[in-house]
């Protein structure tokens, strides 16, 4: 199996990345990990506990940059493996299509999606996972919640930056929004 987490030649240094973030949108992928029943219905959504760029801690979906020269599918696989571990077994088609596009802005009032560091354009996917998931890298914890729990006030209050909106959009996309 190819190690998709070892792609360092394409990374920008911290100063280069800061320079780029100040001048152009950065391309990201967001993945909403789900568990399916035998009929293909979403039964659970995986939410990570992670630190945010502003220093706060919140629940979030999988998210990360697409590297120069990297295929979208490879970026999804790399970030899912990084956050859920190598035994998550994500079910990603050969040519994945996003169900929506989220634009993150430094100004929280522009789009409902907020990233204080940058303007980012993220392709968003619902990704079924079949294997054992263990939070890794910068993910502090992983919880699986039902669709009803995911849109509850308590869980939504733990999400920031528009992550709660992404979860609602994902559930609506798969016909499971309570």
Model confidence at 3, pLDDT cuts 50, 70, 90, reads: low
Any idea which fold 19-173 has? Nucleoside Triphosphate Pyrophosphohydrolase (3.90.79)
pLDDT per residue as tens digits for the range 54-75: 777 899 999 999 998 999 999 9
At residue 21, does pLDDT exceed 60? yes
Helices (H) and strands (E) in the chain, counts: 5, 7
CB-CB contact of 60 with 151 (8 Å): no
At residue 7, does pLDDT exceed 80? no
Domain ranges of the chain: 19-173
Q: CA dist 171 to 65, 92, 111, Å?
A: 23, 18, 19
pLDDT per residue as tens digits for the range 100-158: 999 999 999 999 999 988 999 999 999 999 999 998 877 889 999 999 999 999 999 99
For residue 137, the model assigns a pLDDT of 72
- Any alpha helices (H) in 72-141, and if so which ranges? 72-84
For residue 1, the model assigns a pLDDT of 46
Look up tokens 């990360």; give the residue.
64
d(CA 91, CA 13): 32
d(CA 126, CA 64): 15
Percent share of the chain, pLDDT over 70: 92
- What is this structure's pTM? 0.87
At residue 25, does pLDDT exceed 70? yes
- Residues across the chain: 178
Look up tokens 């509850």; give the residue.
152
DSSP 3-state of 23: coil
For residue 24, the model assigns a pLDDT of 83
Beta bridge partners of residue 128, listed in sequence order: 34
- Any alpha helices (H) in the chain, and if so which ranges? 14-21, 72-84, 147-150, 153-157, 163-173
């Amino acid at each position: 199996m190819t190690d998709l987490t070892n792609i360092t030649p394409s990374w920008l240094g911290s100063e280069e990345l800061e320079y780029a973030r100040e001048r152009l949108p950065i391309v990201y992928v967001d993945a909403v990990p789900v568990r399916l029943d035998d009929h293909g219905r979403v039964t659970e959504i995986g939410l990570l506990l992670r630190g945010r760029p502003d220093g706060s801690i919140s629940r979030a979906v999988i998210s990360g940059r697409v590297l120069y020269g990297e295929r979208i599918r490879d970026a999804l696989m790399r970030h899912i493996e990084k956050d859920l571990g190598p035994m998550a077994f994500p079910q990603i088609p050969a040519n994945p299509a996003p169900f929506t596009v989220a634009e993150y802005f430094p100004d929280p009032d522009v789009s409902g999606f907020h990233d204080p560091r940058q303007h980012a354009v993220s392709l968003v996917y619902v990704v079924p996972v079949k294997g054992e998931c263990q939070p890794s890298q910068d993910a502090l914890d992983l919880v699986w919640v039902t669709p009803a729990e995911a849109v509850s006030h308590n869980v939504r209050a733990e999400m920031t930056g528009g992550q709660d909106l992404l979860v609602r959009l994902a559930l609506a996309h798969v016909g499971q929004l309570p």
